[in-house]
Structure 1
Amino acid sequence: MNYIPTEPTLIDYSKVTFIKSSPNLELAPKDCGIEVAFVGRSNAGKSSAINAIVGQNKLARTSKTPGRTQLINFFSIDDDRRIVDLPGYGYAKVPERIQQQIEEILNTYLGQRQCLQGLVLLMDIRHPLTPRDHNLLQIAQECNLPVHILLTKCDKLKRGVSNNILLQVRKNLTGYTNMTAQTFSALKQLGLEEARQKLSDWFTF
């Protein structure tokens, strides 16, 4: 009998709901099913990107004060699949003690969460691949974790400039494995389908 591939599962991201916030893995949802996590510098527009991708305005809380999110936020697609909003990093005005706590949360989650299928790393397209971004990419590489980069706020630049930065970022990723990148704008709704497709690929793995 010939094998007939099944159609990929269609995911309705508009049904995503908040589950809980957790300061550590001990209080996180059970480590099973599939999770895709979002992470990035505090001013990269992480919450806005999550809201745009799921088509909800207030699912992930946005703030005019970078560095406010210091917990792991879990959102449910269904009983087996979750989106995770990790604390933002790299905001200078956050006390050093809090910055260290955030780094510990990130390292523990990325290194120990067995159900984590992929990582969406957000970078402001005007300031990509900072030393802390590279540090996170290295951690993901050591954990054999695929990464998809969203170069956010691409509406702030002309398309030609935006595309050149994307090409340069992709060139700089050649030293890593299983890492991809795209341009993205939550404000102008640019790159949504490409981002949703990447998430769907991971969620139907």
Structure 2
Amino acid sequence: MNYNLAHFITSAPDIRQMPEDIGIEVAFAGRSNAGKSSALNALTRQNHLARTSKTPGRTQLINVFELAEQKRIIDLPGYGYAKVPEDMKKKWQAALGEYLQKRKSLKGLVVLMDIRHPFKELDQDLIFWAVDSGLPVLCLLTKADKLKQGLRKSTVLKMRKEAKNFEGDVTVEAFSSTKGFGLDQLRAKLDSWYLPVEENA
């Protein structure tokens, strides 16, 4: 897949205003300060595809990007940021839950977590939901350049061990949007979701 071709289609407050539910979608989700926008920009080699902000929690809508015909990246609202008003937080979480539960074209979920604070309660809730629904999950431990190599490797190994507790298809990789590592693993995983090998091939 050529991720450089990603382009913005629409922002929707809920699934009723999203494109038709056909084809393949991969959703990116994470806490509001997990570096989701930076990861999307690094993946697509576009500096301004997803808006980055020094104020976490700016993604308030479901943002839809098209890669190719019937192949989309979904940027879900960030969750868990304390400074967002409670009613707005509930509204985002309702949109997030509805999308995850009802969207048939959703084929994989990328959950982004700061490598220094992985698998917080909301992250785990999201992953357990995905596993229960039979969805594969890629956990990206972002901002991995903030840790020295030895600690980074040991953290990834520890989180891979913890991920077995989800009892599903859950992969863990270190990621840095600034240094570029983890990008190859991200692209390879996305390729496997967007371009599934035909069973009878």
TM-score by length of 1: 0.93
For 2:190, the aligned partner's letter is L
For 2:123, the aligned partner's letter is D
Q: 2:84 aligns with which of 75, 83, 94?
A: 94
- Partner of 2:174 in structure 1? 183
Task: Give unpaired runs (5+ residues) of structure 2.
Answer: 197-201
Deviation, 1:141, is 1.6
Indicate the SS of the match to 2:165: coil
Q: 1:43 aligns with which of 23, 28, 33?
A: 33
Retained in 2: the 8 A contact 1:110–1:143? no
1:172 is the counterpart of 2:166:
no
Between stretches 98-107 and 181-190, larger displacement belongs to: 98-107
Indicate the SS of the match to 2:91: helix
Summarize the alignment of residues 41-190 of structure 1 with structure 2, pairs less than 5 Å apart.
Answer: 41-176=31-166, 177-190=168-181
Deviation, 1:100, is 1.1
For 1:16, the aligned partner's letter is A
**Rounded Cα–Cα distance in structure 2 between residues aligned with 1:105 and 1:26:** 10
**Rounded Cα–Cα distance in structure 2 between residues aligned with 1:193 and 1:136:** 24
Identical residues among aligned pairs (%): 51
CA RMSD, Structure 1 to Structure 2 (Å) = 0.7
- Partner of 1:201 in structure 2? 192
Aligned length: 195
Deviation, 1:133, is 0.7
Q: Which runs of 4+ in 1 moved over 3 A?
A: none
**Rounded Cα–Cα distance in structure 2 between residues aligned with 1:132 and 1:96:** 16
- Partner of 1:3 in structure 2? none
Indicate the SS of the match to 2:164: coil
- Partner of 1:5 in structure 2? none
